[in-house]
Chains A and B, each alone.
Chain A
Amino acid sequence: EVQLVESGGGLVQPGGSLRLSCAASGFAFTTHWMTWVRQAPGKGLEWVANIKKDGSEKYYVDSVKGRFTISRDNAKNSLYLQMSSLRAEDTAVYYCARYSSDWYVTFDIWGQGTMVTVSS
Chain B
Amino acid sequence: QSALTQPASVSGSPGQSITISCTGTSSDVGGYNYVSWYQQHPGKAPKLMIYEVRNRPSGVSNRFSGSKSGNTASLTISGLQAEDEADYYCSAYTSSYTVIFGGGTELTVL
Which residue on chain B has the smallest CB distance to residue A104? B34
Residues of B within 8 A of A97 (CB): 46
On whether the beta carbons of B55 and A44 are closer than 8 Å, the reply is no
On whether the beta carbons of A61 and B93 are closer than 8 Å, the reply is no
User: Residues 40-77 of chain B: 1 if any A CB is under 8 Å from the residue's CB, otherwise 0?
Assistant: 10000111100110010100000000000000000000
Minimum C-beta distance from B39 to chain A (A): 11
**Stretch in A11-19, A21-29, A72-80, A106-114 touching the partner:** A106-114
* CB contact under 8 A between A104 and B45, given known A45-B38, A46-B101, A47-B99: no
Give the A-B pair count, Cβ closer than 8 A. Answer: 68
Alpha-carbon gap, A43 to B23, bound state (A): 18
* Secondary structure class of chain B's binding surface, majority of residues: strand
Which residue on chain B has the smallest CB distance to residue A59? B97
Which residue on chain B has the smallest CB distance to residue A103? B51
Alpha-carbon gap, A59 to B98, bound state (A): 7
Interface size range on A against B: 20 to 34
* CB contact under 8 A between A110 and B51, given known A45-B38, A47-B100, A59-B96: no
Interface residues of A (CB under 8 A from B): 35, 37, 44-47, 50, 57, 59, 61-62, 95, 97, 100, 103-108, 110-113
* 16 CB < 8 A contacts A-B: A37-B46, A44-B104, A45-B101, A47-B91, A47-B98, A57-B97, A59-B97, A59-B98, A61-B98, A100-B51, A103-B52, A104-B51, A106-B48, A106-B51, A108-B51, A110-B45
